[in-house]
Amino acid sequence: MTSRKTLKRVFDYPLIVEKERKLTEFLGLKEDSIDWTGIQEDTRYFTHGLHPYPARMPPHISRRLIRMYSKNQEDLVLDPFCGSGGVLVEAMLYDRMAIGVDLNPLAVLIAKVKTTPLNPETLYKVKYKLLEGAAQRLKSSNYEVPNIKNLDYWFKPEAVAGLAAIKEELEELSLMEEVADFFRVCFSLTVRETSNLRKGEFKLYRRSVAELEKFKPDPLKTFSEIVSENIQRMADFYFEMLKHPKGKARVFKGDTRNLLELGVVDKGSVDLVVTSPPYGDSHTTVAYGQFSRFSLLWLGFPEQEAYSVDSKSLGGRVLKKEKNLGSATLDLVLSKIDQVDQSRAKEVYSYFYDADVSLEQVAKSLREGAYCCYVIANRTVRRVKVPTDQIFVELAQKYGLKHVVTFRREIPNKYIPHVNAPENVRGFKGETMTKESIVVWKA
């Protein structure tokens, strides 16, 4: 593995804040008046870069939306599909209280760490103790290998040994929960980088035979480098947050389809929603569960929980009975897909059914006059274009959300290729999602 270099900060956060303050003056302009693409934007400053996560909302998008639509320091910002917590970090940096909800336990773990400022001196002390203990365990083979299906297929023997030594040492150290979680996030990334998983993929694809022959994983070295880099990121965040004592965040594991039942927010209590829900069912768009699986298994989460993330997500279960959801656009799309593939039409309906249920819960959580911002992408299913943004606008009308504006942006960097072969038809290539819509409502 290529050695990680010491990070050099190239961003000027106070300057960014001033630019975003001036940008709020554009709130009433046409949607093409603001460039939302952000090709040159740094997306990994502070704790944003602690751990990769699929389809992250770029920080400049959430930062901009929060500064445009939150006017009071007492505002409560909610991200009901918080993923790894980027929106929450930006809300904290703007001196806001924030709440995040996600059903993926790995996302919840990462989000908690990203939003918990930790003293870097404490982390450095733990790092050396942890690495020394893991090295001794590895040398003496004093560790137990976890029972994970097909472990030898996805991890080389040297990777298994090193990861097992780190895992055992981390579990036996007496640490505050927040500190232990920081190192668990570092360990999760080490699992990914020392596995046989193909680089640059979120789904479970194994490296080629040629790549595996050259691949020489060294978990202790990789873990050490990741920890050092992440401590530096945490240090930057820790000292920056000393300037923002009112910025706080709480993260909860839960299903947004039952948001109000979770007890994390009350009806009419939220001042701003900024979120990016899944763009479709996980097995045809972004497989959050596949991305998280080995991290969760190595971290000791129950096998059932590690394997069920995607099936629990929006559209994860195909519904047999359908009802009219109140979107004429959706009805037209479903009829077109149904003519080609009835099973895919049911999958698309199931996703929008779940999205509609969650949207109702989110709408009920908003106070009157509050704004709600969804970053979503349109897709193509069986060569039928699915205008997800327009469908969401139509669904939201039932719950009193008034459409304000839809901003559109190019997606400059994605792990999803710009074309694929979704139907396995020779010579046919379908476009993947290269554009996003930022839909803004007012309650």
Closest Cα to residue 102, out of 92, 87, 116?
A: 87
* pLDDT tens-digit readout, 26-76: 545 444 456 777 666 788 999 999 999 998 999 999 999 999 999 999 999
Using CA of residue 224, residue 3, residue 233, residue 102, what is the dihedral sign? negative
Q: What would the mean pLDDT of 97-120 be, rounded to a whole number?
A: 98
Q: What is the pLDDT of residues 386-418, one digit of tens each?
A: 999 999 999 999 999 999 999 988 876 543 444
Report residue 298 as tokens.
């190595």
Q: How would you label 87-113 residue by residue, b for 16+ Cβ within 10 Å and e otherwise?
A: bbbbbbbbbbbbbbbbbbbbbbbbbbb
- Residues of the chain with pLDDT > 70, as a percent, come to 86
The CA distance from 381 to 283, in Å, is 13
Burial class (CB in 10 A: 0-12, 13-18, 19+), 395: buried
Report yes or no on 54 lying in a domain.
yes
Same domain, 385 and 273: yes
Report the DSSP pairing between strands 270-275 and 366-376.
parallel
232: phi then psi, degrees, rounded to nearest 5? -65, -40
Confirm whether 142 is domain-assigned. Answer: yes
Instruction: Determine, yes or no, domain membership for 200.
Output: yes
Residue-wise DSSP of 206-252:
BPPHHHHHH----HHHHHHHHHHHHHHHHHHHHHHHTT-TT-EEEEE
What is the pLDDT confidence band of residue 429, given thresholds at 50, 70 and 90? very low
Region 109-130 average pLDDT: 97
pLDDT bin (cut points 50, 70, 90) of residue 1 is very low
User: In this structure, is residue 8 part of a structural domain?
Assistant: no
What pLDDT is recorded for position 281?
76
Domain end, chosen from 238, 257, 278, is at 238
Q: What confidence score (pLDDT) does residue 23 get?
A: 58
Is the residue at 156 inside a domain? yes
SS3 388: helix
pLDDT in tens, 181-207: 999 999 999 999 999 999 888 889 999
% of residues, the chain, pLDDT over 90: 79
- Residue holding tokens 């000393």? 242
User: Which residues are CB-contacts of 341 (< 8 A; sequence separation ≥ 6)?
Assistant: 382
Q: What is the mean pLDDT of the chain?
A: 89
Query: In this predicted model, what pLDDT tens digit does every residue of 297-329 receive, in sequence order?
Result: 999 999 999 999 999 999 999 998 889 999 999
7 falls within a domain: no
Are 62 and 172 in the same domain?
no
Query: Can you read off the two tokens belonging to residue 305?
Result: 């929980």
173 and 276 in a single domain? The answer is no
269 and 415 both lie in a single domain: yes
Q: Given this model, what pLDDT does residue 321 score?
A: 82
Report helix, strand and coil shares of the chain as percent, to nearest 5.
Answer: 50, 15, 40
> Is 214 within a domain?
yes
Confidence of residue 115 (pLDDT cuts 50, 70, 90): very high
Taking residues 117-141, report their average pLDDT. 96
Number of domains in the chain: 2
The reply to whether 139 and 193 lie within a common domain is yes
pLDDT in tens, 346-387: 999 999 999 999 999 999 999 999 999 999 999 999 999 999
* Structural domain boundaries enclosing 320: 17-102+245-289+310-442
In a domain, 110, yes or no: no
Tokens of 289: 């569960």
